[in-house]
């Protein structure tokens, strides 16, 4: 085992021992509440008192690792002055001292209702072995905490997404869509300017949205400027001599037709033609 692993093991053992000490101190404090609730100035004599005495002696032994026997004598002298202290101290030297919360509750005869009423933390219950009752109570307590938290931090508005009242802003602005409205708003444009550039809201006095007003001349009918226009050629402009003039008044002559060379007559001519790279 390395030095680091040995140190981690020692720390874990120290934490475990500290937890046992704290639990024993808490159980003795809960036992004091139980005795006060039952109005016991001292433990009753008899079998019941003897069982509680041995349980308390074990808890006092664990609660004071520095001087456990003195802690046992002090606790037994307070709560069981009729007991033989030497006998109890001798018992704690060899006792098991491994008490669970429910085992402690069985010795002290504590149920779930008593545990909730006295508000015990380190002592369980002797009538709830599967923790069904305690888990249900804890869930109800957590639900109460959640309701209190929500009521304290509530804004008073109903739950869910708030519904828009009246006409949405992007509809009132005449935008073609919500994305267009926010894009124009981010770019610094007017809220009433829609995607087509029309600044009208396109909303009737009754709040009904209508189609945006289109321009008088559709985009497909828009013509280029006069300088870019060309006059079409008319049939009566064609001269009678058979010549065709283009749009600039220059004589237009079609290119000569493609003249193909005649095919070779024999295979010998074709061979020599391929050999020479030219055709006769």
> What SS3 string covers the chain?
CCHHHHHHHHHHHHHHHHHHHHHHHHHHHHHHHHHHHCCCCCCCCCHHHHHHHHHHHHHHHHHCCCCHHHHHHHHHHHHCCCCCHHHHHHHHHHCCCCCCHHHHHHHHCCCHHHHHHHCCCCCCCCCCCCCHHHHHHHHHHHHHHHHHHHHHCCCCCCCCCCCCCCCCHHHHCCCCCHHHHHHHHHHCCCCCCCCCCCCCCCECCCCCECCCCCCCCCHHHCCCCHHHCCCCCCHHHCCCCCCEECCCCCEECCCCCCCCCCCCCCHHHHHHHHHHCCCC
**Residue 103: its pLDDT value, please?**
95
Residue 278 has pLDDT above 60, yes or no: no
Residue 68 has pLDDT above 80, yes or no: yes
CA contacts within 13 A on the Cβ side of 61: 19
**Residue 8: its pLDDT value, please?**
72
- Provide the sign of the torsion angle of the four alpha carbons 161, 164, 169, 174, taken in this order: positive
Residue 152 has pLDDT above 80, yes or no: yes
**Cα separation, 57 vs 80, whole angstroms:** 10
Q: Which long-range contacts (CB under 8 A, 24 or more apart) does 113-119 make?
A: 114/34, 118/30, 118/33, 118/34, 118/37, 119/33
**Cβ within 8 Å of residue 185, ≥6 positions away:** 191
pTM: 0.53
Share of the chain above pLDDT 70, in %: 62
Sort residue 119 into left (φ over 0), alpha (ψ -120 to 50) or beta: left
Residue 196 has pLDDT above 50, yes or no: no
Share of the chain above pLDDT 90, in %: 46
Per the document, the length of the chain is 280
206 or 160: which leads in pLDDT: 160
**Cα separation, 25 vs 62, whole angstroms:** 8
Radius of gyration of the chain measured on its C-alpha atoms: 52
């Amino acid at each position: 085992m390395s030095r680091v692993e040995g140190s981690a093991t020692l720390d874990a053992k120290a934490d475990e021992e500290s937890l046992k000490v704290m639990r024993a101190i808490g159980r003795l404090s809960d036992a004091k509440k139980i005795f006060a609730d039952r109005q016991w100035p001292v433990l009753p004599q008899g079998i019941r008192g003897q069982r509680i005495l041995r349980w308390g002696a074990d808890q006092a032994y664990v609660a004071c690792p520095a001087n456990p026997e003195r802690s046992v004598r002090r606790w037994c002298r307070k709560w069981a002055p009729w007991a033989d202290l030497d006998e109890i101290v001798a018992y704690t030297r060899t006792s098991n001292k491994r008490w669970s919360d429910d085992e402690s509750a069985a010795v002290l005869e504590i149920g779930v209702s008593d545990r909730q009423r006295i508000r015990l933390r380190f002592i369980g219950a002797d009538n709830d072995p599967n923790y069904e009752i305690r888990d249900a109570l804890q869930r109800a307590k957590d639900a109460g905490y959640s309701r209190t938290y929500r009521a304290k931090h509530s804004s008073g508005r109903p739950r869910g997404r708030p519904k828009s009242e009246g006409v949405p802003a992007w509809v009132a602005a005449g935008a073609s869509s919500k994305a267009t409205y926010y894009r124009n708003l981010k770019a610094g444009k007017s809220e009433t300017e829609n995607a087509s550039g029309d600044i009208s809201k396109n909303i009737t006095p009754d709040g009904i949205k209508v189609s945006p007003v289109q321009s008088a001349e559709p985009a497909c009918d828009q013509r280029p400027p006069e300088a870019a226009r060309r006059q079409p050629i008319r049939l009566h402009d064609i001269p009678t001599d058979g010549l065709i003039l283009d749009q600039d008044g220059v004589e237009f002559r079609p290119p000569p037709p493609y003249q193909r060379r005649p095919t070779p007559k024999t295979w010998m001519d074709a061979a020599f033609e391929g050999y020479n790279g030219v055709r006769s």
